[in-house]
Amino acid sequence: MSTITQSIDVAVPVTTAYNQWTQFESFPQFMEGVEEIRQLDPTHNHWVVKVGGATREFDATVTEQHRDERVAWKSDSGPQHAGVVTFHKLSDTSSRVTAQMDIDPDGFLEKVGDKFGVVEGRVKGDLQRFKEFIEQRGGETGAWRGDVPR
């Protein structure tokens, strides 16, 4: 199992960054390889991703969510992974988004990619694309302000 941690500063208030991150169905607009996410209910999502040319589907559960602070999840099927994205106010107009993931690559290509830093590079790229996405929009596409206790 590998642990990946990446952070990025975004020029939007922490509430805007958090609100956008709760819009899971928008992830394909900035996450490489994510084809589709369907929100099944407030805590369950179905993901369709492309990894190494292969399409994978899995379900994930939001295990903890607190407004403007954090969103944590774990996979329920498919490759085992879990993580947390935290949101930190830097000023009234900027914030830091930090993603930490524990991933257990499934299959030869994914294991080789993990060893050579491909997964970490993808997370870093996804955060950069999130930054561009939210800063260019100037606001979130929606928000879910509910709370999921641990």
Architecture of domain 2-137: 2-Layer Sandwich (3.30)
Tens digit of pLDDT for each residue in 95-105? Answer: 999 999 998 76
pLDDT per residue over 60-113, tens digit each? 999 999 999 999 999 998 778 899 999 999 999 999 999 999 987 666 556 555
**Given a cut of 80, is residue 8 above it in pLDDT?**
yes
Specify the DSSP class assigned to residue 147.
-
Tokens at 68, concatenated: 């403007």
**For strand 54-66 and strand 70-75, is the pairing parallel, antiparallel, or unpaired?**
antiparallel
Query: Is pLDDT at 51 greater than 80 in this prediction?
Result: no
H helix intervals, the chain: 14-21, 108-115, 118-137
Where in the chain are the domains? 2-137
Q: What are phi and psi of 138, to 5 degrees?
A: 80, -5
The token pair at 18 is 């958090």
